[in-house]
Structure 1
Amino acid sequence: MTTAKDLFIIAMDTRQDHEVGQGDLSLALAGAELIDLAGAGAVTLDGDRVVPGGAAPDDRLLGDAAAQLTRREPYERVEDWLWRRGRDLAAAYQAALEADGELTGARRGRSLFGARRVEPADTPARRRAAGRWAEADPVLLALAAAVGIAGGDVAGEAEPGDDVATTVVAAVHDAVMELEAVRQRRTIENAAFANVWRGP
């Protein structure tokens, strides 16, 4: 399992009080992939630029991520990677985890993607994600905090403790805030448009 899969499982877990938006989660999953790729030596960061390195890990989704890396200079900025790779990434993770039997239909709970409800199945992957969460894994906690999920026994904001992870998590925070600003602007514009049609 990967950090991105662990994060998806934590976000889907019905015990969480906070419902995570699909767009927010997609950005965080792209960040988690980048951290895993760096940990495997498949990328390095030069400032905020993503520099491709060695072979990708033996995970299909991480392999897909590695195949999408920009391999010509000037290399892609972390923030640009989050937006490009993050497009519909939560849906891709849901499909992959369902295909692997890691998600199952739920009798209760919620879905990130509409009426059909799914939740993590009782598998070693779910137990591994729950274990990282219970142990307050700093990278997992920091990514979860970026999308509004609080947890663990860590006081204050989770710190990843690694330069690459710190850079990526900061970029995820910024991207999620930018996405929220876009949502708020659209809400205001839609309300103003509705008022025009409603009249005085």
Structure 2
Amino acid sequence: MNTARDLAIVALDMASDHPVGQGELSLALAAAEVFDLLDAGALVLDDERITPSAQAPTGDRLLDEAASSLVRQEPYESVEDWLWRRGRGLSSAYGAELESMGLTARPRGHRISLRAGRSVPVDSAARQQAEERWASGDPVLAALAAAAGVHEMPDDAADDLTDETVTTVLAAVGNAVVELEAVRQRRAIEDAAFDNVWRGF
């Protein structure tokens, strides 16, 4: 199961109705990779630390890249540190990867707006898998999509998330998204203050 790819496809599918911030999506994709690497046996979580296991190819280029970039020296890396490090530019990387695999395409036409010109998923087995998983209400995928801003998390959805490892990763991505927004707000305030000084106020 490729949670990161499913999340990327769902986000693209819903982008016209729910514009997604690239920073939030990148953090959520990095969290999704943690789940995929856990499933692949490439890492285990020790409290909030990512402990690498024996590295074996997953068959997915970006996941293999993620596995090879795990910190392999104690005290290892916290989940949140991983999200910030691995997440940098990750939404763009997944967008490019999906396009290179023929799983997305850019709409053609003379009257298409710039927003509509973004890549969209094409009919494929990968898209069908992502849509079926989304429609099933998979709680992990739903929680990651909510963190990325793709949709609102239903109030009772958290009841299905009881596994400690899962809640640890989801808490980390939630904290990172909140911190990202705080950084943006600080920058906006600083930029506004600079503009006011520049104008002589």
TM over 0.5: yes
The alignment-based identity, stated in percent, is 57
Q: Structure 1 pair 93/45, CA: closer, same or farther in 2 (3 Å)?
A: same
CA distance in 2, matches of 1:41, 1:3: 15
One-letter amino acid of the structure 2 residue matched with residue 198 of structure 1: R
One-letter amino acid of the structure 2 residue matched with residue 170 of structure 1: A
Aligned residue in 1 for 2:68: 67
CA distance in 1, matches of 2:163, 2:16: 27
- Contact in 2 for aligned 1:38/1:164 (Cα 8 Å): no
- Contact in 2 for aligned 1:110/1:118 (Cα 8 Å): no
One-letter amino acid of the structure 2 residue matched with residue 135 of structure 1: S
CA distance in 1, matches of 2:60, 2:87: 17
Pairwise CA distance, 1:150:
2.0
Partner deviation per Cα, 1:59-80 (whole Å, 9 max, x = no partner): 1111000000011111111110
| Number of aligned residues | 196
One-letter amino acid of the structure 1 residue matched with residue 135 of structure 2: A
What SS does the corresponding residue of 2:51 show, helix, strand or coil? strand
Aligned residue in 1 for 2:174: 173
CA distance in 2, matches of 1:180, 1:18: 17
Q: Where do 1:118-137 residues align within 5 Å?
A: 118-137=119-138
Pairwise CA distance, 1:197:
1.7
Partner deviation per Cα, 1:123-149 (whole Å, 9 max, x = no partner): 111111111111000110010111222
CA distance in 1, matches of 2:84, 2:152: 26
Aligned residue in 2 for 1:81: 82
CA distance in 1, matches of 2:84, 2:75: 17
Partner deviation per Cα, 1:90-141 (whole Å, 9 max, x = no partner): 1111111100001111256875xxx851111111111111111110001100
- Contact in 1 for aligned 2:9/2:130 (Cα 8 Å): yes
Aligned residue in 2 for 1:160: 161
Aligned residue in 1 for 2:151: 150
Unpaired stretches in structure 2, ≥5 consecutive residues: none
Pairwise CA distance, 1:17:
2.2
- Contact in 1 for aligned 2:21/2:149 (Cα 8 Å): no
CA distance in 2, matches of 1:7, 1:67: 21
Unpaired stretches in structure 1, ≥5 consecutive residues: none
What SS does the corresponding residue of 2:105 show, helix, strand or coil? strand
- Contact in 1 for aligned 2:139/2:157 (Cα 8 Å): no
Aligned residue in 2 for 1:37: 37
CA distance in 2, matches of 1:179, 1:197: 27
Aligned residue in 2 for 1:8: 8
- Contact in 1 for aligned 2:27/2:176 (Cα 8 Å): yes
Pairwise CA distance, 1:55:
3.0
1:26 aligned onto 2:26: yes
Q: Where do 1:111-122 residues align within 5 Å?
A: 116-122=117-123
Pairwise CA distance, 1:185:
0.7
